[in-house]
Amino acid sequence: MSTPDRYQEVTLVLKRVLYINLAVALVKIVLGYSTGAISILSDGFHSLTDSASNVVALVGVSVARRPPDRNHPYGHRKYETMASLGILVFLVIVMVEVLRAAMTRLISGGVPRVVPEGIGLIAVTLVINIFVVSYEQRAGRRLHSEVLTADAKHTRSDVLTSGAVLLALIGVWFGYPIVDPLVALLVAGFIGHAGWSIAQEASRVLSDEIVIAEDEVRAVVQSVPDVIGCEKIRTRGSADHAFLDLHLWLDGTMSLQTAHATSHIVKDRLMQRFPQLVDVVIHIEPPPPASR
């Protein structure tokens, strides 16, 4: 799939999910205020951050799809990773608000009003969230998109929170109001875990962690005739947008023209074997004495 088509698909997925998240958040917030259930209200604001994160992701993708320019010779792909960090910021804000609301309820007390219709609505939103997570995860894997994967993790935490809220409402229904703020604390834990996962994924890209194993690269390089070996193999980038550079060992008596042609064969094989490679930089040199 070409890069423009990929970004168009990522944008389409994010827009679809945005509309669903807005509807789900509105239902939960209205229900939370009407019943006084802090767990529902917390879940509603959590869902609202799903929508906010979709907007952040859309902005990030719109920048990331720009082609390389004079100031960004490697392209703008990392802006998509930075957008996933924007999602992390929203998660942290919501986690703090949920903790505050839960502690206030534990200290001041209060009993939420639980009705069967409310339980039914939360159950429906739970099913919707499960669908959204499955949809985004499949799209994220197919398009190798960090922002879709991060957003799916965000929404997956919403599935866990909605399930916990459903249990809280049932607990309150049976006369245990303390379950409501306790579940809100559990919601905060789910949100924190989702944020930690997103931070780990983003840090791998932004810190230039290795993308392709050296042994895999070396196997492709050494499959080319006349290649003696290679060293200083380095890869960086993301799952679908990686860069590779290496030192290629060739016979020192080989003509420059032949060496250049051989290096191009190596590059072509690497990019064929690893389609996520955007560019491969090869430095040609004779092998060290120990390898001759």
Say if residue 68 is in the same domain as residue 130.
Answer: yes
pLDDT score at 221: 95
CA distance 121 to 27: 8
CATH value at residue 106:
1.20.1510.10
- Are both 111 and 34 inside the same structural domain? yes
CATH of residue 286's domain is 3.30.70.1350
Average pLDDT, rounded, for the chain: 82
Asked if 46 and 170 sit in the same domain, the reply is yes
Q: What pLDDT is attached to residue 79?
A: 79
- pLDDT of 283 reads 95
Token pair of 10, please?
Answer: 């990522």
Partners of 238 in beta bridges: 241
Residue 245 CB neighbour total at 10 angstroms: 14
Q: Which of 184, 206, 228 is the last residue of a domain?
A: 206
Q: What are phi and psi of 233, to 5 degrees?
A: -80, 125
Residue 291 reports pLDDT greater than 60: no
The residue among 286 and 48 whose pLDDT is bigger is 286
| Residue pLDDT, tens place only, 223-237 | 999 999 999 999 998
Q: Which residue has the tokens 């009705």?
A: 115
14, 131: one domain: yes
> 195 with 223, same domain?
no
Q: Read off the pLDDT of each residue in 161-188 and give the average, rounded to a whole number.
A: 79
Beta pairing partners, 283: 247
pLDDT above 70 (res 115): no
Lowest mean pLDDT among 50-54, 167-171, 255-259: 50-54
In the block, tokens 């996933």 appear at 84
- For residue 260, is pLDDT > 60? yes
C-beta separation of 7 from 64 below 8 A? yes
Domain that holds residue 230: 214-291
Q: Do 172 and 220 reside in the same domain of the chain?
A: no
Mean pLDDT of 14-37: 84
The last residue of a domain, from among 141, 173, 206: 206
Q: Are residues 147 and 59 in the same domain?
A: yes
Q: What pLDDT, on the 0 to 100 scale, is given for residue 244?
A: 95
According to the per-residue pLDDT averaged within each range, which of 62-66, 105-109, 139-143, 220-224 is highest? 220-224
CA dihedral sign of residues 286, 289, 291, 292: positive
pLDDT tens track for 55-67? 777 877 777 778 8
| Number of domains the chain is built from | 2
Residue 184: predicted pLDDT: 77
Task: Tell me, yes or no, whether 114 and 201 share the same domain.
Answer: yes
Angle CA 183–189–193, to nearest 5:
145
The residue that leads in pLDDT, 118 or 199, is 199
CA-to-CA distance for 222 and 201, rounded, in angstroms? 31
**Model confidence pLDDT, tens digit, residues 261-276:** 999 999 999 999 998 8
pLDDT of residue 165 exceeding 80 = no
